[in-house]
Amino acid sequence: MSVITRFPLVNSNAVYSAALLALAALLTLVTPTQVWAHTSLTASAPANGQTVTAVNQLNLEFGAPLRLMSVSLKDDAGQDVALNFKRSNTAKARFVVPTNAPLAAASYQVFWMGMGDDGHKIEGNFSFIVNPTAVAVTTAPTTE
Ligand SMILES: [Cu+2]
């Protein structure tokens, strides 16, 4: 009668756990944060904080498609400025919202609100200045 004794070099459960931990760590490193968080405005024209000489439309670009539910524009006197905005029925990442007329010289705030794929509300705002006599200043796209 022989006694067979196994001397595993490593415990297979330990290897499995270590592999899972390594995989989890790798996924954390390579997965963009957008997967976990709601999308947001990645760029706009005019850009946040930008001074421009003229504006007849607002361009909004998001990190992932959403349904844009509302966009409103206020000047520095708190007055609503008319936009030709139409609520989107399909999710898109880029939107162009024309103004009803070229914007007068003032500073402006844009408030936007969208609906993500999971039905959650996402909102934000950005501001810019219209100054027809300004030398156009370019700024990096906003990350807000
Ligand atoms: Cu959500």
Q: Please report, for the chain, the start and end positions of each structural domain, with discontinuous segments joined by +.
A: 38-130
More confident residue, 53 or 19: 53
Q: How confident is the model at residue 24 (pLDDT cuts 50, 70, 90)?
A: low
Report CA(2)–ligand 1 centroid distance (Å): 63
Q: What's the chain's length in residues? A: 144
Cβ(81)–Cβ(98) under 8 Å? no
- Residue where the block lists tokens 């939107």: 95
Rounded to the nearest angstrom, the distance between the alpha carbon of 121 and the centre of ligand 1 is 7
**pLDDT over 70 at 16, yes or no:** no
CB-count exposure of residue 40 (10 Å: 0-12, 13-18, 19+): middle
Q: Determine the average pLDDT of the residues in 5-29.
A: 62
Token reading at 73: 């524009």
Q: Return the structure tokens found at 114.
A: 């969208």
Q: Average the pLDDT over each of 20-34, 70-84, 90-104, 127-141 and give the range with the smallest value.
A: 20-34
Q: 59 CA to middle of ligand 1, Å?
A: 24
Centre of ligand 1 from the C-alpha of residue 32, in Å: 16
Cα separation, 33 vs 130, whole angstroms:
34
Measure 70 CA to ligand 1 centroid, in angstroms.
18
Q: If we measure between CA atoms, which residue out of 47, 112, 45, 105 comes closest to residue 73?
A: 112
Average pLDDT over residues 79-89: 94
67, 91 Cβ separation under 8 angstroms = yes
116 CA from centroid of ligand 1 (Å): 7
Q: What pLDDT, on a 0 to 100 scale, did the predictor assign at position 69?
A: 96
DSSP 89: S
Average pLDDT over residues 59-66: 95
Q: Please identify, in words, the CATH class of the domain defined by 38-130.
A: mainly beta
**How much distance in Å is there from the Cα of 36 to the middle of ligand 1?**
9
Identity of the amino acid at 82: A
CA of 66 to the centre of ligand 1 (A): 11
User: How many angstroms is it from 81 CA to the middle of ligand 1?
Assistant: 30
Region 91-104 average pLDDT: 96
Q: What is the mean pLDDT of residues 7-23?
A: 63
pLDDT band for position 142 (50/70/90)? Answer: low
- From residue 109, alpha-carbon distances to 9, 49, 78, 117 in Å are 66, 10, 9, 26
Ligand 1 centroid to residue 106 C-alpha, Å: 35
H helices within 31-110, ranges in order? none
Tell me what pLDDT residue 7 has: 55
Distance from residue 119's CA to the centre of ligand 1 (Å): 7
